[in-house]
Amino acid sequence: MSLSIFDQVDPPAPPTISASRRRKSRIRATDLLDEAVLGIGSRPARLVLTMIGTVVGIGALVATLGLGQTAGGQIAQRFDAVAATRVVLTPAEAPPGAPDDDNGTAELPWDAAERVGRLAGVAAAGTYTEIDIGTDSVSGVQLIDPTNSATFDIPVVAGSPGLLDADVGTLATGRFFDAGHDRRADPVAVLGARAAQKLGISRVDSRPSIFIGDRSYAVIGVIGAVERRDALLDAVIIPNGTAAVRFNLAAPSDVDVRTVLGAAQQVGRQAAIAVAPNQPDSVKVSAPPPPGRLGDAVQQDVNGLFLAFGALALVVGGFGIANVTLLSVMERTPEIGLRRALGAKRRHIAGQFLVESGVIGMIGGLIGAAIGVLTVLAASIGRDWTPVLDLRMAIAAPVAGALIGLLSGAYPAAKAATIEPITALRQGS
Partner 1 sequence: MTTDLPLVPPASDANDPAPLPVVELIDVHRSYPGTPEVLAVRGVDLRIEPGEYLSIVGPSGSGKSTLLHLLGLLDRPTSGVYRLDGQDVAELGEAARSGLRGRRIGFVFQTFHLIGGRTVLDNVMLSMLYQAVPRAVRKARAVEVLEQVGLSGRQHFLPTKLSGGERQRVAIARALAGRPSLLLADEPTGNLDHQNASGVLDLFDTLHADGLTLAVITHDDQVSRRAERRVRISDGELSPA
Q: In the complex, which residues of this chain contact partner 1 (CB under 8 A)?
A: 1-3, 5-6, 8-13, 15-17, 19-21, 23-28, 30-31, 34-35, 38, 42-43, 334-335, 337-346, 348, 421-422, 425, 428-429
Taking the least distance from each CB to partner 1, the nearer of 26 and 293 is 26
β-bridge pairing 254-259 and 122-131: antiparallel
Q: How far is the CB of 378 from partner 1 (least distance, A)?
A: 36
Q: How far is the CB of 290 from partner 1 (least distance, A)?
A: 56
Taking the least distance from each CB to partner 1, the nearer of 9 and 305 is 9
- 8 Å CB contact between 368 and 318: no
Taking the least distance from each CB to partner 1, the nearer of 246 and 340 is 340
Give the total residue count for the chain.
429
Taking the least distance from each CB to partner 1, the nearer of 327 and 371 is 327
Q: Which one, of 78, 3, 57, 160, lies nearest residue 371 by Cα?
A: 57
Q: How far is the CB of 2 from partner 1 (least distance, A)?
A: 5
Q: How many CB atoms lie within 10 A of CB 237?
A: 26
DSSP 37-68: HHHHHT-HHHHHHHHHHHHHHHHHHHHHHHHH
Q: How many CB atoms lie within 10 A of CB 30?
A: 8
Q: How far is the CB of 338 from partner 1 (least distance, A)?
A: 4
Q: How far is the CB of 410 from partner 1 (least distance, A)?
A: 21
Q: How far is the CB of 417 from partner 1 (least distance, A)?
A: 11
Taking the least distance from each CB to partner 1, the nearer of 202 and 429 is 429
DSSP 326-348: HHHHHHTHHHHHHHHHTT--HHH
Q: How far is the CB of 339 from partner 1 (least distance, A)?
A: 7
Reported as half-sphere exposure (CB side, CA atoms, 13 A), residue 231 has a value of 12
Taking the least distance from each CB to partner 1, the nearer of 63 and 417 is 417
Q: Beta partners for 124?
A: 258
Q: How far is the CB of 409 from partner 1 (least distance, A)?
A: 19
Distances (CA, A) of 380 to 58, 69, 142, 159, 297: 19, 11, 57, 42, 21
End-to-end CA distance of the chain: 36
The SS3 call for residue 214 is: coil
Query: What's the CA gap between 27 and 420, in Å, rounded?
Result: 20
Taking the least distance from each CB to partner 1, the nearer of 352 and 380 is 352
Taking the least distance from each CB to partner 1, the nearer of 13 and 250 is 13
